[in-house]
Amino acid sequence: MSLETQIKDKALALRFDLVGITTADPPARIAFYRRWIAGGCHGGMAYLARNIERRADPAVLVPGAKSIIVVGCNYHTTLLRPGPLQGRIARYALGEDYHDVMQRKLDALVAAIRELAPQAQACVYVDTGAVLERELAQRAGLGWIGKNTMLFNNRFGQWLLLGEILLDLPLQHDPPETRDRCGSCTRCIAACPTRAIVAPYQLDARRCISYLTIELKGAIPVELRPLVGNRIFGCDDCLEVCPWNRFAQQAREAAFAPRRDLTEPGLVELLEELLAMDEVAFRRRFAGSPLLRAKRRGLLRNVCVALGNARDSRAVPVLTRALADSEPLVREHAAWALERIATQDGKRNAARSPKGDQDE
């Protein structure tokens, strides 16, 4: 049995759903990436603009790198769409933090590789290293990059988490996926609430709800807040409309099963709970969850925006309490939400008033 086959068998035994091997050649899309950064489309994610020389050459990360193993893990779960007073959380964030899950699996795979090739030098990345992982996945034959810039696979759709192992071993690589199976479909572009997909295969992260609710540390731009709806952490809209996702399968990895307290969070109750927490309590409450990345202030900000968009007067008491929060960011978004609800209530009262009262 070849070394490549043994590595792939071990990856599948570790419950990775996809595995492929590509070369450690420099990425072809690095010029596009440089232009994307130069245009400011990465927003406040300054880490994306650092270490570009590493992204341009995997051999900088692992001297003598010759091969890259790329793995994919399906995280799809079937969910009901929540009501207006319930928050929406991106599916990847409903279970255990995928960074931890994937890291454990990849570390086990590296250990298995070193049993087969003891002198192998390896470096593992899970959505954190300076690599263009979707191009690597396409080169390794795992799928193709769609118009929403996500990786597609004809077996799992787009519900895939990616990880990489850079090796100094000269492995036989897999044929790349060269077909673009999106065809003339533009459903993902039309479905984006904030029009963040500015053109096919081009995303302006500054408008993306995933960026606005997770990576953005300051205030959500006022003009984009109504478009966020009831999304409090990430967004799946461009994935949910994709015809290829009709082939989606349920995730095999138990760690990705949704936590019950996150699948249908009541926004009023969640805001009350968060206001009663300090940062330490917040970390304890969401330990092991991707929601930690937003931090207490960011998640409170998002919940306030979602309640403002719900325009339900039942949220007024708790939003009023949020006006006294220690975080200026929370106070600002609570005030916006209260104003939005008051405007809606004013319109309702005007619609109910007799014409004579309006004339006065």
Count CB neighbours of 199 within 10 A.
9
Amino acid identity for residue 326 in this structure: S
- Is residue 127 annotated as part of the catalytic site, yes or no? yes
Amino acid identity for residue 322 in this structure: A
- Rounded CA-CA distance 300/321 in Å is 12
- Phi, psi (degrees; rounded to nearest 5) at 183: 60, -135
- Rounded CA-CA distance 304/47 in Å is 28
- Rounded CA-CA distance 223/328 in Å is 19
Amino acid identity for residue 208 in this structure: C
Pairing type for strands 67-74 and 144-145 reads unpaired
CA torsion 19-25-28-31 (nearest 10°) is 130
Active-site residue, from 57, 127, 312, 345:
127
- Phi, psi (degrees; rounded to nearest 5) at 203: -120, 130
Q: Which of 229, 200, 201 is nearest to 213 (CA)?
A: 229
Active site residues: 127
